[in-house]
Chain A
Amino acid sequence: MQDDMQFASTENPALATYTPAVRQQLFQFVLQLADTSLILGHRLSEWCGHGPILEQDLAMANIALDLLGETRSLYQYAAQLEGQGRTEDDLAYLRSATEYRNPLLVEQPNGDFADTVVRQFLFDNFHYHFLKQLLTNADERLAAIAEKSLKEATYHLKWSSEWIIRLGDGTDESRRRVEKSITELWRFSGELTTPTALEKSLQAMGLIPEYEDVQASMTAHAERVLTEATLAIPQQIFMLTGGKDGRHTEHLGYILTELQYMQRTFPGLTW
């Protein structure tokens, strides 16, 4: 997208203090956050026009839009960190699946409404508590993006938490479905707070939050919501990881095929 505005350049004094190596690492991490919001936003947008009822169709489209907005802020910052002249569009449309760094959870298919709600709940629970930690981050641009997105993520987590409760403590059918979704998707939740080598390195430098506090807040919230939903909390689940290192499930390729179709078919197309 061609923008008619620019980010204030005076906003982030930390940027000048990074060595090229640190800058490269931070670039990779911001890219990971951007990919995550983009892929989940894309998944949610697939619901548009297919939601179970109009209001929830709108809710998912709204959440998708918030995530897309966050994505753009992150890609713009990533492009600046990289400093190689690539734009936000290049980063979104011209990287292959193995270059994408989103965790596996967000690329999982929409399935039925319960699958989407559980996937959203697992992500929102991480997103909300992670952004809260990021608010006080030394990198002011990341902190500013977090400040903006946290207000939105608050609505998202409220939405998905209430739906977990409605489905779990609803009818036999809704309960059966949400239990099935939890069994299927919970194993992707561990990756969100399992640091990769890149994240460990950035955490050691104090550039991104440690995940222990994030995980503790997530666990507390999940227990509260699942208990209220009269659902059992999964125990001793083997967690699947790899997305943040570029090893994806087969689903990402299909997403990118659709998402990148125009740029791959008509390189450099603008509107």
Chain B
Amino acid sequence: MVAPAPPAEAHIWQLLEEVTDPEVPVLSILDLGIVRAVRVEGEQITVTITPTYSGCPAMNTIATDIRLRLLAEGYTKLIINNQLSPAWTTDWMTKAGREKLEAYGIAPPIDGTASGHVLNLFGKETAVRCPLCKSEHTHLVSQFGSTACKALYQCDDCREPFDYFKCHS
């Protein structure tokens, strides 16, 4: 077997685009904005990722998936770093990622609406557009949804419950 040519950083980024979030498979990890850096030193490749939520069980799966994807291309000297700071924010989610989310039936995060104010008790909730019928008449059911990153909403027009990818900044 012929050893692969020294990896070009661009090629690594291309491969990372093919690694998806196991909970939201339409999103690549680049769409999600969790890949912070790729470093290539000779044959050594270091990929630095940051967790979305500290307890997110998908993070370890993602690290394994990155490893497997790169191994499949013959890259064997791999380090996957977990970097906590600066903490991940939904601001890093790409525009393409947001469009894919909505098409998939999950309302994308609305920037600047993070629940950063604990004094805002029972405050006005973010108006989130229903990803199904596009109505703005929706209401929050619970800040905590099917995964750590989502809140549960319901549409007042089509009556469908739906996930909202929480703004986290």
Contacts and interface: CB of A to CB of B under 8 A. Distances in A.
Interface of A: 1, 3-8, 11, 55-56, 58-59, 61-63, 65-70, 72-73, 128, 140, 143-145, 147-149, 151-152, 154-155, 157-159, 161-162, 165, 221, 224-225, 228
B17 to A, nearest CB: 19
B142 A11 contact: no
Interface residues of B, number: 39
Query: Lowest 7 A-B CB distances belong to which pairs?
Result: A69-B55, A69-B54, A144-B85, A62-B144, A55-B142, A59-B144, A65-B55
Nearest to A60: B144
Given A3-B63, A4-B64, A158 B121 contact: yes
Given A66-B54, A147-B86, A152-B54, A55 B141 contact: yes
Nearest to A220: B119
A158 B118 CA distance: 5
Interface stretch (B6-14, B76-84, B91-99, B126-134): B76-84
B143 interface: yes
22 contacts: A1-B60, A4-B64, A4-B80, A5-B81, A6-B79, A55-B144, A55-B152, A58-B152, A65-B53, A66-B53, A68-B55, A69-B54, A69-B55, A128-B118, A147-B86, A149-B54, A154-B115, A158-B118, A158-B120, A161-B121, A162-B121, A225-B121
A127 to B, nearest CB: 11
A224 B119 CA distance: 9
A248 B82 CA distance: 34
Interface in B53-106: 53-57, 59-60, 63-64, 67, 79-87
Interface in B16-68: 48-49, 51, 53-57, 59-60, 63-64, 67
B55 A145 contact: no
B114 interface: yes
A224 B81 CA distance: 42
B4 interface: no
A40 B74 CA distance: 44
Contact of B81 (A6, A67, A140, A157): A6
A228 B81 contact: no
Interface string B138-149: 000111111010
B63 A140 contact: no
Contacts of B86: 147
Contact of A58 (B48, B120, B146, B168): B146
Nearest to A225: B121
A161 B120 CA distance: 10
Contact of B115 (A68, A145, A155, A165): A155
A73 B59 CA distance: 13
Contacts of A224: 119
Contacts of B60: 1, 3-5
B82 A148 contact: no
A5 B118 contact: no
Given A62-B145, A158-B120, 19 more contacts: A3-B82, A4-B80, A5-B82, A6-B81, A7-B82, A8-B81, A11-B83, A59-B142, A66-B55, A67-B55, A69-B55, A128-B118, A145-B54, A147-B84, A148-B54, A152-B53, A157-B118, A159-B144, A162-B121
Given A1-B60, A6-B80, A69-B56, A151 B87 contact: yes
Interface string B143-161: 1111010001000000000
Contacts of B85: 11, 140, 143-144, 147-148
